[in-house]
Amino acid sequence: MSAASGASENMKAHGFSEPELSEEGDYFVVKFYGPGDRILDLVPSIPEERQTDLKKAGLNDRQIEALRLMVNEKRVITNEFYQAINKVSRRTALRDLRGLVELGQVKTAGIGKGTKYSA
């Protein structure tokens, strides 16, 4: 079995579309389609020891959304940005962000008002 047909079989076995092969100019392109909005349907297939329930870890919805932005969208967040997206005070933003740092979910760069948070 070739690597391409193996990938195709694995994709089908997990309910995904087959990889799409195409030529774009001077490039050969392979597109793998993931679960999209069905990503949580895959959770039962992930071993429990590799799952992290962010709610059970004590994170609130604001922290979870900030973490999603940092992990999925590679965003670097400041306290000011956190305040704006969550409509919270500077003090609340600082407490939430420090909580993420203390749990080891986020790292910091800089000090004071210039602190930046990233996953």
**Cα→Cα distances 17→1, 6, 33, 43, 95, Å:** 19, 14, 6, 19, 43
| For residues 26-37, average pLDDT | 82
- Comparing 34 with 113, the larger pLDDT belongs to 113
Tokens 């895959």, residue? 42
- Mean pLDDT over all residues of the chain? 85
In CATH terms, the fold of domain 61-118 is Arc Repressor Mutant, subunit A (1.10.10)
